[in-house]
Structure 1
Amino acid sequence: MLKTVSGSRIENLWDVSHADALSESDKLLYRSNLLGSDKRVTNYGGGNTSAKVMETDPLTGAQVEVLWVKGSGGDIGTMDKAGFSTLYMDKLTALKALYRGVAFEDEMVAYLPHCTFDLNPRAASIDTPLHAYVPKKHVDHVHPDAIIAIAAASNSQDLTRQIFGDSIGWLPWKKPGYELGLWLEDYCLKNPDAKGVVLESHGLFCWDDDAETCYATTLGTINQAIAWFEEQTAAIPAFGGKRHPTLPAAERRRIAAALMPAIRGMISADSHKVGHFDDQDTVLEFVGAADMPRLAALGTSCPDHFLRTKIRPLVVDFDPAAPDIDATLAGLAAMVDAYRADYTAYYQRCRHDDSPAIRDPNAVVYLVPGVGMITFAKDKATARISGEFYVNAI
């Protein structure tokens, strides 16, 4: 039976008759694929899910508790069971005795392969401790748009309390890793009635001892945030209201077709690039808005976003009310050069002695008023996914 909600809420797609026939590990895959099927819940490759399952030890024949958790890489919406790492819970617990503190937390990653169950070749991710030490059987970690809007706000903690009360907690920003896993465990033990936490500038964790309830809690938390934002912003025009007209679809494609090869030629000196064009309604609303240039310059608010999109897009100087594509093309080289110089200066300001060398300084995302969004990457799939991430940011 499908349980649905209306309007902008995210649909609960859990099919009890299907899920009840699954093993616990298959039920984890089912839950993961459902969560990843809606990009408002988590972007491509983002988030991870887990279940603590009793399995037969291949060495002793005894029943042991095993953590099934999304491994490095992969996407919860499209993965299969080979995408999960499996680790002995008793060995993960034993790692606590080896932990030497925050200054040494990176060395804990090297211990994870020693905890592998049944010779599983899927490498465990850095998020493994975050799932292992939550004292519940099922854990969802996702990056929903509505939660990122809370998590990245300057008053994130106050907003979390205002919207969710005591049911969802809050933890300050901490780089994913071993220490954050211990923070989550400590929070759970001190707040046994809590259903999850918002991680500042990061995302959402929800948990339960029942797989379906964990899934429903994750969706319910996201939908609660969506409802709150809709109530707060009902009378406020998005992004400062509309400034630019939206051109007809055929004209949008004609302009994109003129811009894309020109941009690609300017940014492909060191590596080839493939472009992707997106003119969905969400994009058109943003690129035509009064506050778009100011908001775009601020940069994306979630680290998970700007890893794919760079910290900010390039806003193409184009006026759809008086379209002059030749003038825009003539000015493109200066726009691209200015972006590269700005990105290089940003890198120099923020680099440390052990930082990697500067990567490609060209923009990934190009916003064109009245037309849409163009993204460039090494291949079509990556260009499309980068665009999806910027839609999440919008």
Structure 2
Amino acid sequence: MQIIRELADLNETHTAWRRDLHAHPEIGFEEHRTAAFVAARLAEAGFEVTTGIAGTGVVGRISTGAGGSIGLRADMDALPMDEGPGPDERPWASRHPGLFHGCGHDGHTTCLLAAAGHLARSRSFQGTLTVIFQPAEEGLGGGARMVDEGLFERFPCDAVFGFHNMPLLPLGTASVRPGPAMASFDEFKVVMTGRGGHAGMPHTTRDPALALAEATCSLQGLVSREVNANSAAVLSVTQIHVGTTHNVVADQGWLGGTVRALDEEARGIIEAGLTRTANGVAAARGVTAAVDYRRGYPVLVNDPAETARAAAVLADLYGGNFRPDFPPLMAAEDFAFMLQKRPGAYLLFGQGGEGGCMVHNPNYDFDDRLIPMVATALVRLVESRLPRST
């Protein structure tokens, strides 16, 4: 791809930014140092900067005059896990045990800062650019909180775009697809309460372990028998807890897990079916069931028109390395909340290759070669969406 010359020339600086952020990871809603770093870089570039949105969120805004408006979003938070390589192997490794940029949000933040700086200097667009640095993507719903705190009312955007590195795609490739692109994410917990007693006299008990085992098996029928076979959905029971010793039938136990789906209809079917199934099994076994179903992130749905615009930009930049056929992911992403409020799309940039690994792995690291590639794509997207009048 043809990388913008200035971004290529500045990659050493941008790489230093990224590695500084990597060495100082902060988890959701605690990104104070990161937010201060972002705000300082935006102010230096000439953006009007607003901080404190959703706690540690930062928004930068710059206008070149009358025209449309576009938003670009990056996530800032790290994961609560240890990094594998230490400072001897990776000098920029996390300096904070138990905290690690294992999903590349340090890279995302840097890519957007790089693109924002270039656009502020070049002023190669006509209209208003809003750059959104979001806290707490990793399960805490920082995107929803920003929306709830009036993000798009305070900073109007005709369209909004997000992005992520993708180790499943080779470095030098990119993808975007219309419609559902990432799954919803819900959690559930089912508590079964019976009557405990001696394991040698189970007839005097009402055994929650048996009910939990049957419920675990029965729940698998929800996706295979109630959800349309053309809809992608997953229900996984990932925890079963009951009993403390070998000769006692416990009086209570619980199971828990996750539900993911690529359409809201399937999501609703599973939620209703889970409660019905748990209560039915409980009644059959003489125990009671208490179901706690918590909806998390919605399905991430790319707007067809905005996806087509983004795809045209990526196809022009990447040529045959643009991958429009990359399948939807069953991972979840809270940029979905922003796409519920404004049309837009979520772009994927490949960083896979020899020696790399998947995100959320202790050996993962963002590939710094990706910074000018992503920044170039974001710049061209803004220029395409907000062309200068001639």
Tell me which protein shows more helix as a share of its residues: 1
Higher strand share: 2
- Per the normalisation by structure 2, the TM-score is 0.25
Higher relative contact order (CA 8 A, sep 6+): 2
